Every structure is written in structure tokens, then in C-alpha cells.
Amino acid sequence: MEQIKRNKNITNKSEQLVKLANGAIEAFKKEDLGLYSEFIREYENQSLDVVITNYGIFHFSIENGKPVLTPGHLKGSGTPVHVTVSPETLIRLIEEDITPINAYFRGLIGVKANSNIMHTSYNFLFEFMDVFKRSKTLQQYIEDFKAL
């Protein structure tokens, strides 16, 4: 098993991001248990590395039916999905100011994954954004992210 690499230059923002993300995941679970459960089933035993430029990094995986986020770590080449995005673009995506495909082709988001994972993830992303639009609780997490 490949060891998780520790990035020495990451600030405590990675930990803040993970704390915020864990709260948003729990809120999302309460908002739409069906979609949450479908996502967990689809991505069980899979993982991704996330880089939010100038904010932090974390490794995300689904293990034993639960999301696991590890702040300040990237697994690297053994991870099937790598995402790099600026905080501004992430907010624009969530607020639907820009589509994922538009952000990708404009170079605002970097994604490395096989086409099956990208296609499935793209569909989930649209469903997630719909839940975010309807949920005052999840909208508050966006505001908290902006305040970091």
C-alpha cells in the first residue's frame, strides 16, 4: 500500500477545510439520504486527492461506507482521481455561476481521472448542486468557506 505523503508547506487551512467539508457532508446526508447513499455505493473503496490552491489539500476516500477526509495529505499516483481548483472557481461551481465542463475547458479546474469516473462524477455534481440550492444549511457552509 502506497504511503500517504505529507506536504510540509500546508497551513492549518487544510484542517479547516476538512472540518468544513465533514460538516457539509453530514448536512448533505440529512438533506438527501437517497443521493448520499447512492454516492457512497458508487465510490466505495475509491479515493481522490484534492488541491484547493492557496488554501490546502486533502485526500478523500470512501471506506466501509463512510467518507474519510485526511487534511494536509495527498496519496499521489495510487489515487484514481486528482482535482485542482481555486477557491473562487469552487464557489462559482457550487453557485452555478460556471459549469464544470466550462471551468475545465477554460483551465479553471484540473481533473485527472478515467472517463468513466469523470462521467459519473459530472452527473453527481449536478445533483449535488441542486441539493445545495435548496438547502439553507448547505448554503451556510458555502458562506463559511468564503470566510476562511
pLDDT at 4 over 70: no
pLDDT at 26 over 70: yes
Say what percent of the chain tops pLDDT 90.
Answer: 67
Grid cell for residue 140:
451556510
Q: What is the mean pLDDT of the chain?
A: 89
pLDDT at 5 over 80: no
Position with higher pLDDT, 11 vs 67: 67
> What pTM value is reported for the model?
0.85
Domain boundaries, the chain: 5-142
Superfamily of domain 5-142: SCP2 sterol-binding domain (3.30.1050.10)
pLDDT, residue 106, reads 96
Q: What is the mean pLDDT of residues 98-109?
A: 93
Beta carbons of 82 and 112 less than 8 angstroms apart? yes
Q: What is the mean pLDDT of residues 29-42?
A: 96
Distances (CA, A) of 76 to 47, 91, 108: 10, 25, 21
At 108-121, the pLDDT tens digits run: 999 999 888 888 88
Grid cell for residue 48:
481522490
Task: Count Cβ atoms within 10 A of the Cβ of residue 83 and give its class: 0-12 exposed, 13-18 middle, 19 or more buried.
Answer: middle
Which residues in 40-89 belong to E strands, given as ranges? Answer: 47-52, 56-63, 66-71, 73-74, 81-85
At 48-62, the pLDDT tens digits run: 999 999 889 999 999
Residue 51: phi and psi, rounded to 5, are -120, 120
Q: What is the mean pLDDT of residues 25-43?
A: 96
